[in-house]
Amino acid sequence: MPELPDVTVYVESLDAKVRGTTLQRVRISNPFLLRTAVPPITQAEGLRVSGVERLGKRVVIALEGELFIVIHLMIAGRLHWLAAGAKPRSRASLASFEFDGGTLLLTEAGTKRRAALHLVAGREALGAMDRGGIDVMAAELPAFAAQLARENHTLKRSLTDPRLFSGIGNAYSDEILHRARLSPVALSRSLEAEAVQRLFDATRSVLGDWADRLRGEASRHGGWPDKVTAFHPAMAVHGRYGQPCPVCGSPVQRILHADNETNYCARCQTGGKLLADRALSRLLKASWPKHIDDLE
């Protein structure tokens, strides 16, 4: 799922292309994409774009008259920019938005249709879609610490809870916790002040570093982020199960839960302890290794 760094670069790139232009036409290829009926999507046509914003993990196209097109990409949704006159060729196309200078194409890989499109009227209606999490890039340490302590959950769950923190998901939470040298299953209310500071600093630095990296990649591809993915070779632990940790060289570990996978370095984050995997550790029982050294 595109997270804060990816969505930020989408927003910046799209804003540079469409601010001040007119949305000429909206084409919906899949009827399940559009989740609102009032106002009708055709009401957005012919209106000037006043700007593009981020709302959590959503991309918001602000139109004159306080109409807002809200795009939630979910897991497999992606945005593409086509030059004026180019025709969409992707079978995965869900919608297209034709502007004066080009077309924004929304696609979704796979067969599950989870991406969502809303058209809402007024700032109040847009604000109602906000899950309430703070923007860590704009927050100070006391606000971050207060959010972390609101509920006593694992750090992984707390970081990815949109009611607590805005825009952080499975991928970047792994990277944040690795940089902070904290266990993904440590409880949020158990952290000492020094650990909270480390987590705050790591959150800001990971999200900021990756936004800068993705901006650089977009600039090399015509000013558009065409390679948005949850898995990057330069990531420290996310998606790198079994590969060496770039800090200590130990093999990256994982915890499988539902459709998600948490990746971590046992030596850097858990004092060498291997965290129980719900499926594998139950299967192996007494044979489940307890320490990273048991694997080496």
| Global model pTM greater than 0.85 | yes
Backbone angles phi, psi at 53, to 5 degrees: -130, 165
The answer on 190 and 105 residing in a single domain is: no
Residue with token string 């694992």: 154
The answer on 223 and 201 residing in a single domain is: yes
The answer on 213 and 168 residing in a single domain is: yes
Of the chain, the end-to-end C-alpha distance in Å amounts to 34
Total tally of structural domains belonging to the chain: 2
Which pLDDT value is given to residue 111? 77
Q: For residues 44 and 65, what is the distance between their CA atoms, to the nearest angstrom?
A: 10
The answer on 69 and 88 residing in a single domain is: yes
Q: For residues 174 and 268, what is the distance between their CA atoms, to the nearest angstrom?
A: 13
Helix or strand run (H / E) with residue 18? helix 4-18
Q: For residues 244 and 237, what is the distance between their CA atoms, to the nearest angstrom?
A: 9
Q: Bridge partners of 256?
A: 261
The answer on 162 and 18 residing in a single domain is: no
What size, in residues, is the chain?
296
Which pLDDT value is given to residue 291? 63
Number of C-beta neighbours around residue 31 at 10 A: 8
The answer on 111 and 23 residing in a single domain is: yes
Which pLDDT value is given to residue 290? 63
Which pLDDT value is given to residue 289? 60
Residue 257 sits in a domain whose CATH number is: 1.10.8.50
Which pLDDT value is given to residue 184? 97
Query: Do 196 and 145 contact (CB within 8 A), yes or no?
Result: yes
Which pLDDT value is given to residue 292? 64
The answer on 108 and 42 residing in a single domain is: yes
The answer on 145 and 25 residing in a single domain is: no
Which pLDDT value is given to residue 84? 83
The answer on 111 and 207 residing in a single domain is: no
Among residues 73, 97, 127, the one where a domain terminates is 127
Strand 58-63 relative to strand 102-108, pairing: unpaired
The answer on 242 and 96 residing in a single domain is: no
Which pLDDT value is given to residue 283? 43
The answer on 38 and 166 residing in a single domain is: no
Q: By residue range, what is the domain housing residue 162?
A: 136-295
pLDDT by residue for the chain (296 residues), tens only, comes to: 899 999 999 999 999 999 999 999 999 998 899 999 999 999 999 999 999 999 999 999 999 999 999 999 999 999 999 988 777 766 778 999 999 999 999 999 877 888 999 999 999 999 999 999 999 999 999 999 999 999 999 999 999 999 999 999 999 999 999 999 999 999 999 999 999 999 999 999 999 999 999 999 999 888 999 889 989 999 999 999 999 999 999 999 999 876 789 999 999 999 999 998 755 445 444 444 666 665 55
The answer on 95 and 142 residing in a single domain is: no
Query: Do 211 and 232 contact (CB within 8 A), yes or no?
Result: no
Among residues 64, 99, 127, the one where a domain terminates is 127
Among residues 102, 127, 152, the one where a domain terminates is 127
Residue 26 sits in a domain whose CATH number is: 3.20.190.10
Which pLDDT value is given to residue 281? 47
SS3 labels along 247-278: CCCCECEEEEECCEEEEECHHHHCCCECCCCC
